[in-house]
Structure 1
Amino acid sequence: MSVSTPAMTPERAREIATDLDLRALPADFYANPYPVYAWLREHEPVRRMPDGSYFLTRYADIVAVYRDAQTFSSDKKVEFTPKYGAGSPLLAHHTTSLVFNDPPLHTRVRKLIMGALTRRAIADMEPGLITLVDGLLDALAAQGGGDLIEDFASAIPVEIIGNLLGVPHANRRPLRDWSLAILGALEPRLTPEQEALGNRSVSEFTTYLTTLVAERRQHPGDPEHDVLTRLIQGENRDSPEGLVAGEQLSETELLQNCVFILNAGHETTTNLIGNALVALQEWPQAKAQLLSKVKLSSQPGHGLEADLTVEIDEFLRFESSNQLSNRRAIKACQVGGVDLPEGTLLTLCIGAANRDPAQFAHPEQLDLARENNRHLAFGFGIHQCAGLSLARLEGRIAVGRFLQRFPDYVLSAAPTRGGRARFRGFLKAPFSIA
């Protein structure tokens, strides 16, 4: 079947934009938010929201905020405490994880994670990743199709992160559901059902991790590849003098940042792969262009995946997996010519910045040959995604090898959007092999 993003008239985009409230978004915004973003960029790029926060849509303004970590904090305790409630599992998680903290905790955790995601370590993952992807493709071929998300895109990051943390295969089944529930609780509008599920998922996951951590302390893995072992042992694990105060994570910091590692690498990578394969159905010329490249590089051992970096970055720009980010002004400042008092909460609209015509030529077009693509899908500055190289590798291998095996795949039913403002992707995308 043919696929197309639902159109939105300029009048409707203006109507939504002028009454924008992230806690009460209409269905057509979730289906296609980009016309609303475009109206805001042109008319109210620093938009004051009903709750007193500000919504930023220009690339230059968002980069300026990302650059200035001295003025704009990532710490979310002020915002999350009333949202989740003191003592709740969701509050404990989201205020302890890497992404919602400033230095020094952010610096310590990021350094430990990056130490296990070196260029060599990621290169060592490639053969296993290819084996994983090819096994999934074999299963899809045997049944004549399946679901791009459930049977393919979502299975890849869960296995990769399971390997990074050393989660036994038999225990990986709940990981995806836990992640979806915990990240779902980050949406601007939180229903009681989402809150209850999110709290239960944090509790179940940390309970499981407590046992896993205890086992890993008894039987450490290779800290060059095992992120959990590296987090347990701390920065100076090889120092003959031993660790000094502050170089190891507390038990709470350790558990919550293991939860973060799953969340950060799971849904965003799932969305990257799923968004890319659905977008190619809507942009047949881009698909034909990519297929030509795939066919030229189809011989075994040719290294196809390394050739698709430009294309993967364009998919990330065009349909950013993570659409929204947040900061808090810790002192009075100015953004985009607007004076902001101390304590102002900011929503940085990555999806809008990545389609800003001031930064990208023909931004509404999927251009798989786009050069100098400085998209913000991985963030920017000190909080730039620690796993970006791994995400690119997963995207290259997944998309490239899928197209090698199924060049004529077609969607057999309309894909189902996830219905989220912060994370943009699909829950289902049934396809058949033509």
Structure 2
Amino acid sequence: MSGPAAGTFDAPAVAAGFDLAALDRDFLDDPYPTYRALREHDPVHRMPDGSVFLARYADCLAVYRDRRLLSDKTREFGPKYGVGSPLYRHHTTSLVFNDPPLHTRVRSLLMPAFTPRALTTLQPKLEALVDRLLDRIADKREFDLIADLAAAVPVQVIGDLLAIPMAERGPLRDWSLAILGALEPRLSDAQMEQGNRAVTEFTAYLDALVADRRRNLVTDGSDVLSTLIAGQGGDTLDRETLGADELAQNCIFLLNAGHETTTNLIGNGVAALLDNPGELARLRADPGLINGAVEEFLRYESSNQLGNRRVGERLELAGAVLEPGTYVHIGIGAANRDPAAFPDPDRLDVARSPNRHLAFGSGAHACAGMSLARMEGRVAIGRLVARFPRLERAGAPVRGGRARFRGFLSYPMRVA
């Protein structure tokens, strides 16, 4: 269970009974009371399956920085997806769920796309894209924040980075939602089937795209897919190319990671401003606050609420002994509301400083695309707020209903 119904919230009981495999709708709508109960009553919580959930900032940060905790998930994903299934093949090959040497090799090939110079080149294109989207919103007046802005921005940006033809980008969002949805702690048969089908279709599409790109490599560094194919970006004395499946699965990872988390950042950020009109007015009065505001959106409503590691060798954490093989859930959303790290953590403060949130992780596995995501958030939210003097809801928002990736499926809005 995730907790009793509203009005009967027994924090010690909620903490003792917390189980990621048995979450209810109340938790998915608002996990923060449960996270508070865990921090206060059972911060290193052992769940029925033997895994551990961490709810305090200091403990989560320690796990990110401890090399005795591993990112490889083959032991976890074998029973979950079935060894050899498309979902298993994808999630055990992609960058995020691997340790060196594969993690080091793939990351070194991806990083040139996210250097300050590369982002400086990209920013005018991003600003032009956002302005086009806002022009359409101005024409319609009523729009959906997610479909018309939050999801549209990262799909186009990542599509441009991989030079995916504009006419072929339609399925990307649905594939992404299905594949990342399969990372939830508990899956239905339908979710499993949708996730496997999405990986299969996405891989087939990328195999054809890669075959075409091999014949027409782009060598000026503007096309990440060409860079990955050529094995460029690392030390010229030690270049390594990716195998065919490694290449396809890490392109899927790049599209998924760049799409879902940034969609949630933009959607959650705008929603937080509407819920806190004083902070919206503050940002309007001082647009220079947008950098700090984006950091606060990332903390306040973290796009990715959960991280994971597996214990590689016996260790002690906050008085608890963790044996090798123990699966550890890093409570990012809980850590980012920890009052020991963030004064008055349940209050949105667009000028909060310092703001050392864990929304992008930390250590060797810190998000490779964090600078790009921040830029997308700054441009999309900053320009939306500046363009329209009135922003308001035009209907009931629909939450995504997921524990790991927190965001909205739709958010009807009206502008003036």
TM superposition score normalised by structure 1: 0.92
Q: Does 1:280 align with 2:273?
A: yes
User: How far apart in 2 are the matches of 1:426 and 1:215?
Assistant: 35
Relative to structure 1, the CA distance from residue 377 to residue 8 in structure 2 (aligned partners, 3 Å threshold; closer, same or farther) is farther
Q: Secondary structure at the match of 1:327?
A: strand
Residue 22 of structure 1: how far off its partner (Å):
0.9
Checking the alignment, whether the CA contact within 8 Å between 2:161 and 2:222 is kept in structure 1 is yes
2:333 corresponds to 1:351: yes
2:40 aligned residue (39, 42, 50) = 42
The answer as to whether partners of 2:110 and 2:233 remain within 8 angstroms in 1 is: no
Query: Is the counterpart of residue 91 in structure 1 residue 118 in structure 2?
Result: no
Q: Kindly indicate whether residue 388 of structure 2 is the aligned counterpart of residue 395 of structure 1.
A: no
1:270 aligns with 2:256: no
Contact 1:409–1:432, Cα closer than 8 Å, also in 2:
yes
Q: Does residue 177 in structure 1 map to residue 174 in structure 2?
A: yes
Query: Are the aligned partners of 2:108 and 2:233 in contact in 1 as well (CA < 8 Å)?
Result: no
Aligned with residue 146 of structure 2, among 146, 149, 165: 149
Map of 2:137 onto structure 1: 140
Cα distance in structure 1, aligned partners of 2:118 and 2:6: 45
Cα RMSD of the aligned pairs, angstroms, is 1.6
Question: Given that residues 313 and 373 in structure 1 are in contact (C-alpha distance below 8 angstroms), is that contact kept between their aligned partners in structure 2?
Answer: yes
The one-letter code sitting in structure 1 at the alignment partner of 2:137 is L
**Residue type of the alignment partner of 2:132:** G
Of 106, 110, 113, which aligns to 1:109? 106
2:19 counterpart residue number? 21
**Residue identity opposite 1:383 in structure 2:** H
8 Å contact from structure 1 (residues 217, 232) kept in 2:
yes
Cα distance 1:272–1:164, how it changes in 2: closer, same or farther (>3 A)?
Answer: same
The equivalent residue for 1:201 is: 198
Show the 5 A alignment for 1:404-419: 404-419=386-401
SS at match of 1:348: strand
**Relative to structure 1, is the Cα distance of residues 229 and 408 closer, same or farther in structure 2, using a 3 angstrom cutoff?**
same
Query: Between the two proteins, what is the percent identity of the paired residues?
Result: 57
SS at match of 1:116: helix
Q: 2:73 is matched with which residue? A: 76
State the Cα deviation string for residues 186-228 of structure 1 (Å, max 9, x = none): 0000110000000000010010000111111111114522111
Query: 1:329 maps to what in 2?
Result: 311
Asked if the contact 1:275/1:426 (under 8 Å) is kept, the reply is yes
- Give, in angstroms, the shift of residue 16 of structure 1: 3.4
Paired amino acid for 1:416: V
Question: Any stretches of 5+ residues in structure 2 without a counterpart?
Answer: none
Matched, 1:362 2:344: yes
Task: Give the AA of the match of 1:362.
Answer: D
Q: Tell me the matched-pair count.
A: 412
Match of 1:259 among 243, 247, 252: 252
Question: For 1:423 and 1:12, how far apart are their aligned partners in 2?
Answer: 26
Q: How far, CA to CA, are the matches of 1:238 and 1:60 in structure 2? A: 35
Query: 8 Å contact 1:223–1:230 — kept in the other structure?
Result: no
Paired residues of 2:142 and 2:394 also in contact (CA < 8 A) = no
1:56 to 54, 57, 60: 54
**5+ unaligned residues in a row in structure 1: which ranges?**
1-6, 295-303
Structure 1 Cα separation of the partners of residues 339 and 372 of structure 2 = 29
CA distance in 1, matches of 2:164, 2:118: 18
Matched letter for residue 242 of structure 2: L
Q: Could you say which residue in structure 2 is the equivalent of 1:312?
A: 294
CA deviation profile, 1:33-76 (whole Å, cap 9, x unmatched)? 0011011011100000010000001111111111012x100000
Matched residue type, 1:59: Y
The 8 Å contact of residues 231 and 254 in structure 1, kept in 2 or not, is answered as yes
Distance 2:150 2:13 in 1: 35
